[in-house]
Every structure is written in C-alpha cells, then in structure tokens.
C-alpha cells in the first residue's frame, strides 16, 4: 500500500458503539497505515457517543431508534470537514444506508468491505457468521453473503446465547482465558457445520480475538481490519 506523502482526506469515525471497539478500530487504522513518521498518518476526527440507544433493543424489542443520535454524530463529523465516514459497528449498519443517503461525504460500509474480503480469501464451505442477535435478526450479513453466492453457518441457539454473553462481558471491560475458551467452542461448532472461514461480525469480538487464524478452528475475517484497510486506501488522496 502506498505511503501517505501529502495530507490525507479527512476521515470521520462515527463511534462509541462501543467505546472499546472504536479505540480498537483507530489502533488498527494506525497499525495498517504505511507510515514511518507522524506526518504520514491519516487525518482523523472521531465522534464517539456512547449514549446512542442500544441497537439490540431497537431491533429486537422496539427500543428507541438510534437514528437521531447517528444523524447528530454524522452532522458533527461533517461540520469538522470529514470527507470519508466510517462506522466501526456492524449492527448499526441496519440504519446507516438511509442516514447516509444524500450526504456530501463518502461512506465506506463495513459490510461491503467484509464481503469483499470473503470473496478474496474464503475457502470452500459455508461462511461462519458470529454476530449479535440484532444483526442476525436484521439479516445484514446473511443477505450480503447470499447476494455474493455464499452459504452461511450460524451458531446454535445455545451457542448464540454464549456468544452474546461474551459480547456483554467484553463491553463491561472483561477479558481472560474463559472468554477465549467460550469463543473457541463457538468457532469449533461452525467448523463442524463445514465452515472453514468465519466473519467476526461484531466489533467487540474483534477486540477479543486477534492473532494468527491458525490458532482457531476456522480462518477469521475481521471486519474492523477490512474497514481500516479500505479507509486507508480511500483516504490517501492519490490512490
């Protein structure tokens, strides 16, 4: 990837969903930028609003619609001059196409960049999908994978409940071997369904599972990493 030799386009990160996932995404953005000095990194503005209503409750239980909060955060980023908007949260992409429609900024979808990575790197078999209850209910990834010609392997109801418990514990700032063991168990169940590749379709899981995919039963595709790579490519002005 080409290094930044002049000021990049200004990247706006609409975050806070959750805070640790936003920080993790920015860390990945820095790590993957081909920079050897400060001045070669991207120009970035972050609006992190953790008061955005719970996306799970909005989708599954008729809770408050997060759209007004997303619109407000987007407005803050646009007023700061953001030329590119990215959102390191998978579930909230249920709402973003409508909100971004007609806005004077480029929007890079974490869903689209992840499907591109699946098309480039997936091996034979259905694609395992680890996502929140809300994202699964909304069908965000299932529809995109189906449109791209891929089958989908999902955790069983018991394993999905375990996955959501892991997500809640990560949001609470917890970590440790027990969480990793739980996730290894879920990944192993996807392998038994024939999956050889799995999407970490929740950014909290991206903060938990890292390192070489050889450590896990299936090859992992991290949407946060894929979004970071796409953001870098589009933000460097002369690419």
Pure H helices in the chain? 19-32, 55-61, 67-79, 96-100, 110-121, 133-138, 140-147, 157-171, 177-192, 203-208, 223-235
DSSP state of 193: T
Is residue 80 annotated as part of the catalytic site, yes or no?
no
Q: Where are the alpha helices (DSSP H) in 131-176?
A: 133-138, 140-147, 157-171
The three-point CA angle 174-177-181 to 5° equals 110
Distance from C-alpha of 114 to C-alpha of 226, rounded to nearest angstrom: 6
The single residue of 70, 74, 86, 89 carrying the catalytic annotation is 89
Could you confirm whether 89 is annotated as catalytic?
yes
Catalytic residue, chosen from 96, 131, 202, 232, is 202
Residues labelled as active-site residues: 89, 202
């Amino acid at each position: 990837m080409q290094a930044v030799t002049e000021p990049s386009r200004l990247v706006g990160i609409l975050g806070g969903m959750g805070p640790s996932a936003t920080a993790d995404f920015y860390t990945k953005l820095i790590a993957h930028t081909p920079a050897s000095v400060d001045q070669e990194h991207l120009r970035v503005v972050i609006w992190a609003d953790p008061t955005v209503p719970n996306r799970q409750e909005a989708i599954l239980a008729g809770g408050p619609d997060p759209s007004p909060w997303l619109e407000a955060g987007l407005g803050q980023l646009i007023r700061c001059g953001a030329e590119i908007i990215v959102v390191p949260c998978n579930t909230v992409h249920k709402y973003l196409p409508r909100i971004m429609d007609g806005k004077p900024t480029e929007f890079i979808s974490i869903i689209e960049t992840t499907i591109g990575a699946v098309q480039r790197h997936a091996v034979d078999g259905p694609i395992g999908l680890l996502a929140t209850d809300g994202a699964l209910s909304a069908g965000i990834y299932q529809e995109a994978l189906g449109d791209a010609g891929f089958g989908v392997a999902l955790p069983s109801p018991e394993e999905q409940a375990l996955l959501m418990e892991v997500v809640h514990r990560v949001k609470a700032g917890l970590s440790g071997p027990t969480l990793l063991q739980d996730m290894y168990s879920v990944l192993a169940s996807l392998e038994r369904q024939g999956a050889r590749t799995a999407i970490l379709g929740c950014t909290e899981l991206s903060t938990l599972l890292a390192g070489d995919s050889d450590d896990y039963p299936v090859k992992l595709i991290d949407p946060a990493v894929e979004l970071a790579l796409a953001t870098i490519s589009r933000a460097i002005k002369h690419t």
